[in-house]
Amino acid sequence: MTRADITDLIVEIIADIDDEADFDNLDPEKPLRDQLDLDSMDFLDIVMELRKRYKIQIPEEDYPQLATLNSCATYLEPMLKDV
């Protein structure tokens, strides 16, 4: 997966959590939770979905690295490079 594929994947997972989410003005450098209606349980939905789809185990101490779309791409790129 490329970085673009990964950000598309994250957007797709969030759209599944909240079908009313508006991604048009999403800044990839700003925290997702500041821009979208996501609480801590919704954030854990993203983590769980990555586990279910790609068997990725993300330790709790790494959660801050999933704060923005760009940081998601950076963090997940090595794990998803062969997908």
Partner 1 sequence: MLAHHQRIVITGVGLAAPGASNLHEFRKQVLDGRSGIQEIDLRYFGTAPAGLCSIPETKYRKKKENKKGTRAGCLGVYCAHEALLDAGLEQSVYDKARTGVYIGLTEHGNVETENEIYHLKQYDYDVAYWSHHHNPRTVLNNPAGEITVSLGITGPHYSIGAACAAGNASLIQGVQMLRLGEVDMALAGGVSESTGSFGIFASFKAQGALAEAAAPEQACRPFDQKRNGIVVSEGACIYVLERLDRALQRGARIYGEIVGYGMNSDAKDFVLPFDQRQAECMELALAKAGLRPDQIDIVSTHATGTKQGDAEECRAIRSVFQGTGSPFINNTKSIIGHAMGAAGVLELAANLPSFDDQLVHPTINLDDPDPECLLENLVVGEPAQGSTLSTILNNSFGMLGINSAVIVQAYRGSS
Residues making contact with partner 1 (CB under 8 A)? 17-20, 37, 41-42, 44-45, 48, 51-52, 57
Tell me the two tokens of residue 42. Answer: 């919704």
**Minimal distance in Å, beta carbon 12 to partner 1?**
15
Q: Whose Cβ is closer to partner 1: residue 4's or residue 59's?
A: 59
Q: How far is the CB of 81 from partner 1 (least distance, A)?
A: 23
CB of 37 to partner 1, least distance (A): 7
Residues 79 and 5: beta-carbon distance below 8 Å: no
For partner 1, give the closer residue by CB, 8 or 45. Answer: 45
Length of the chain: 83
Q: Report how far apart, in Å, the C-alpha atoms of 56 and of each of 26, 27, 47, 49, 50 are.
A: 25, 25, 8, 9, 6
